[in-house]
Amino acid sequence: MEKKGEILTQMALISDLFERANMKSEDTSVIVMTSEDEFDRLFNLITKKANLKLNKTDNTFSVKIGVVEYVFSVNKSNV
């Protein structure tokens, strides 16, 4: 199946689903483990599309959309 759509739009839709879920949570986080190449691609894409200055720390960066914090990290077990 081919992946289509803008990453930030897709993340916003996921955030909206979490906000509307029938549950009470103190914190909502999504952790995305990627290869190093995909991590770099996503970092550059999200930084450019959102016009944000994101910080990378220990191969990790995060973005908050609505109530959801997306944490992107390099999967070291595949290295």
Q: What tens digit of pLDDT does each residue of 15-64 get?
A: 999 988 888 888 999 999 999 999 999 999 999 887 778 888 889 999 99
What is the full DSSP assignment across 11-78?
HHHHHHHHHHSS---S-EEEEEEE-HHHHHHHHHHHHHHHT------SSEEEEEETTEEEEEEE-GGG
In this predicted structure, the answer to whether residue 78 has a pLDDT above a threshold of 60 is no
Q: Where are the domains of the chain?
A: 27-78
Please report the pLDDT score of residue 5 as a whole number. Answer: 73
Please report the pLDDT score of residue 54 as a whole number. Answer: 84
Please report the pLDDT score of residue 44 as a whole number. Answer: 92
Name the pTM for this structure: 0.84
